[in-house]
A and B are shown apart, each in its own frame.
Chain A
């Protein structure tokens, strides 16, 4: 049975309040989800007053400012800071996005930052994505060809076949879409989720791949694929502007017409 409420150990408590010490007149209240694995406590929401006169334009800049100047124990993943690596995916202002590409000036009032939804929290804003990576592995995201002489030669692809991968190869696997999907929340152990299905489609749709039929057969499953009900939360949240809902729709269509 689906559990809509949070389990007892995940109920969120009110946390600390960090008052501004700079005396700035341009403050933003930033509420951040915190959970410390070394303490036996429930997660809490800490509120930081951040001086926006001396802060970069992105949400990630705010997090860095908090970590550098207010509370160095704040934990989050980040790497490239340019929307390429997908490490800093989190829930900002109620929608999953990359904090490094999200401008905080878009958000009025208090800023709420949570980890990606419905994941096991490792610490603070870091969620455990192991299940998703296992599912990614299950779609065999590599080129598969029949073993033979052909494999010693370069497999060429026409420009129009290459263009079929546009809108799919750009996925950086930040998991914003999958963790935005209610179906994935309730059936994340069985349903593959938008990110992995978009990747599956990327390989099904590759003209060089020779395993298309098997790939389709593998993914054609009541739980793996058809738990998608076109809720479109995935497409709404994708920070790269891709369309996982369309990719899933295309797989369904392929199965219906093949």
Chain B
């Protein structure tokens, strides 16, 4: 075809989100967040070497509302990533590609991540 100023047809702008595509992009974003979180957690444990004072700084942060939000948020991101990664592992084994099954496992992973988050929270609160 001759070179013309042909437009590009719309894509992200118009494509309807599916459960599968939403979970897929969430998996990616959550993966990046977890990567950063693990790095920060490493620095956190490193800072403990500097004694009680540095411990207090982080403790104060985690006691604040924002700190709690971050902690609970990370419980969710890790739960979701682990459960959704299980789906990927089964796909790699060749199972779960059926449209219905992949939808069910997707919803299960999402619901499961919230259940795990609540469990982690309760365990953290020493309720059990």
Contacts and interface: CB of A to CB of B under 8 A. Distances in A.
A116 B9 CA distance: 7
Interface in B1-54: 1, 4-16, 18, 20-21, 24, 28
A249 B97 contact: yes
Interface in A116-136: 116-122, 127-128, 130
Contacts of B93: 253
A246 B24 CA distance: 16
B91 interface: yes
A4 B4 CA distance: 22
B68 interface: no
A185 B18 CA distance: 16
A99 interface: no
A114 interface: yes
Interface in A200-258: 229-233, 235-236, 243, 245-246, 249-250, 252-253, 256
Nearest to A11: B7
A37 B1 CA distance: 12
A122 B1 contact: yes
A130 B1 contact: yes
A23 B95 CA distance: 54
Contacts of B16: 93-95
B14 A9 contact: no
B94 interface: yes
B20 A232 contact: yes
Contacts of A148: none
Most chain A CB within a 10 A radius of its CB, from B88, B97, B102: B97
B94 A250 contact: yes
Nearest to A256: B92
Contacts of A127: 9
Which of A9, A10, A230 has the most chain B CB atoms inside 10 A of its CB? A230
Nearest to A130: B1
A117 B14 contact: yes
B99 interface: yes
Interface residues of B, number: 28
Highest count of chain A CB atoms <10 Å: which of B6, B13, B20, B98: B6
A42 B14 contact: no
Contacts of B21: 182, 231-233, 236
Contacts of B13: 5-6
Given A236-B99, A243-B99, A252-B92, A10 B14 contact: no
Contacts of A117: 9-11, 14-15
A131 B13 CA distance: 22
Interface string A1-24: 000111101101000000000000
Contact of B88 (A40, A116, A230): A230
A33 B9 contact: yes
A57 B99 CA distance: 26
Given A40-B5, A249-B94, 12 more contacts: A5-B13, A9-B7, A12-B10, A35-B7, A122-B6, A128-B1, A231-B20, A231-B21, A232-B102, A233-B18, A236-B20, A243-B99
18 contacts: A9-B5, A10-B9, A37-B6, A116-B9, A119-B8, A120-B7, A185-B12, A230-B88, A231-B21, A232-B21, A233-B20, A236-B21, A245-B102, A246-B97, A249-B94, A250-B94, A253-B94, A256-B92
Interface of A: 4-7, 9-10, 12, 33, 35, 37, 40, 42-43, 91, 93-95, 112, 114-122, 127-128, 130, 180, 182, 185, 229-233, 235-236, 243, 245-246, 249-250, 252-253, 256
